[in-house]
């Protein structure tokens, strides 16, 4: 694809001009929406033309999120199909069920879309309906959508009109398991993902279970009998393995705002392969700008990726066990949502993949 932010030769001045990508955001009041705005505020190739919210229409963005004062003078607006159709790309940061109703009209107008919701992640529509409690209204675009995990399908993303941005847990889990499954080194029927997330993963809605007084000084599993991210995880891992996989996925809620840590377990088919796993992981992700394989035996910390579009991981083994342990951490709002969405946008428009995403994590 020709670089969208291409150099346009001015015949009079012979100067080079830059065409900015015109972006719209549907659902800009939630945590992923404001994270998109935070990242795009310093992205040199983008201009944000509209941010929609039915509930907050007319409110200046900076009034809701004062960290954006001086960066955006836009106000939230009602979703206007004509304004969105005038964009080059639209991000959907909405609850499930919204994007699938609006996508067909945008697709017909030629707009490109990155959907951060779950509407286009699952290819099996019956499975999607079972987990999300409604029939899917855009089956033709489910088939055409590209599941946007850049480390796997970068070439397909570059040509896509619609990209389904992966979920937060599925990103951390898939990246940790991929090298093992791609090389067929582990039993694909016995994969375990023990995952923990901060409270921002539950969104910005007023839920009693997410109040600090309810979450603080506590720790619990949830969705242990089945979580909506399980079929997405299974779909991605099965594609990597080339066979159906058996995955046990249990998420946990921990009393912090940002971050996901997944401790992954897989059984090696041949224990002798263990000695080459560190090199395998390093080789697999050597050219990936947003995956960091740490030295063997390291313990990645969620604070080391806070605010950054990075998945950091490390390998472990206990004594002479056949079980490979992978610890994988991401910021659920960045590599698990808005940062990966911008990464996908960069790929779609031929930009440098890291553009707007180069900032290191926040410490302390």
Cα dihedral across residues 154, 158, 163, 168: positive or negative: positive
SS3 97: coil
Strands of the 311-316 sheet, one edge to the other: 220-221, 247-253, 191-197, 260-267, 323-330, 311-316, 291-293
The partner residues of 191 in beta bridges, in order of sequence, read 247
SS3 127: helix
Query: Vertex 289, ends 287 and 290: CA angle to 5°?
Result: 125
Choosing from 18, 50, 87, 168, the catalytic residue is 168
Round to the nearest angstrom and report the end-to-end CA distance of the chain.
40
Neighbours of 230 (CB within 10 A): 21
CA separation for the pair 206, 267 (Å, rounded): 41
Cα dihedral across residues 147, 150, 156, 161: positive or negative: positive
Task: Please give the full DSSP string across 167-206, using - where no structure is assigned.
Answer: PHHHHHHHHHHHHHHHTT-B-TT-EEEEEEE-GGGG-SS-
- ω before 121 within 30° of 0 (cis)? no
Contact status, residue 309 vs residue 288, Cβ threshold 8 Å = no
Q: Any idea how long the chain is? A: 364
Phi and psi at residue 164, to the nearest 5°: -90, 110
CA separation for the pair 169, 148 (Å, rounded): 14
Question: Which residues lie below 8 Å from residue 213, measured CB to CB, with a gap of 6+?
Answer: none
For the question of residue 168 being annotated catalytic, the response is yes
Locate all alpha helices (DSSP H) within the chain, ordered by sequence.
31-40, 61-64, 81-85, 99-108, 125-132, 139-144, 150-159, 168-182, 212-215, 229-241, 277-284, 339-348
Enzyme catalytic residues: 168
């Amino acid at each position: 694809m020709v670089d969208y932010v291409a150099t346009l030769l001015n015949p009079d001045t012979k100067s080079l001009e830059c065409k900015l990508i015109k972006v719209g955001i549907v659902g800009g009041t939630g945590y992923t929406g404001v994270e998109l705005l935070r990242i795009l505020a310093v992205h040199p190739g983008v201009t944000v033309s509209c941010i929609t919210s039915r509930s907050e229409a007319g409110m200046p963005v900076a009034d809701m999120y004062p960290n954006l004062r001086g960066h955006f003078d836009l106000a939230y607006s009602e979703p206007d199909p004509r304004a969105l159709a005038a964009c080059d790309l639209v991000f959907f940061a909405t609850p499930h069920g919204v994007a699938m109703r609006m996508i067909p009209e945008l697709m017909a107008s030629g707009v490109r879309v990155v959907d951060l919701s779950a509407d286009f992640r699952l290819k099996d529509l019956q499975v999607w309906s079972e987990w999300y409690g409604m029939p899917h209204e855009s089956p033709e675009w489910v088939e055409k959508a590209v599941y946007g995990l850049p480390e796997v399908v970068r070439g397909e993303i570059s040509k896509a009109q619609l990209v389904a941005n992966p979920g937060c847990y599925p990103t951390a889990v898939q990246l940790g398991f991929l090298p093992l499954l791609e090389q067929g080194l582990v039993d694909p029927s016995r994969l375990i993902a023990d995952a923990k997330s901060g409270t921002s993963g539950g969104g910005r809605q007023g839920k009693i279970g997410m109040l600090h007084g309810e979450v603080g000084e506590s720790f619990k599993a949830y969705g242990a009998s089945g979580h909506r991210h399980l079929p997405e995880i299974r779909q991605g891992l099965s594609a990597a393995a080339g066979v159906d996989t058996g995955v046990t996925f249990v998420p946990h809620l921990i009393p912090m705002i940002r971050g996901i840590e997944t401790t992954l377990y897989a059984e090696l088919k041949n224990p002798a392969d263990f000695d080459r796993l560190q090199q395998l992981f390093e080789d697999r992700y050597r050219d990936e700008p947003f995956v960091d394989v740490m030295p063997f035996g390291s313990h990645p910390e969620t604070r080391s990726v806070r605010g950054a579009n990075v998945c950091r991981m490390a390998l472990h083994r206990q004594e002479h066990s056949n079980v490979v342990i992978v610890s994988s951490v991401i910021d659920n709002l960045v590599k698990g949502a808005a940062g990966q969405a911008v990464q996908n946008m960069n790929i779609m428009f031929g930009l440098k993949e890291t553009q707007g995403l180069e900032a290191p994590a926040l410490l302390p």
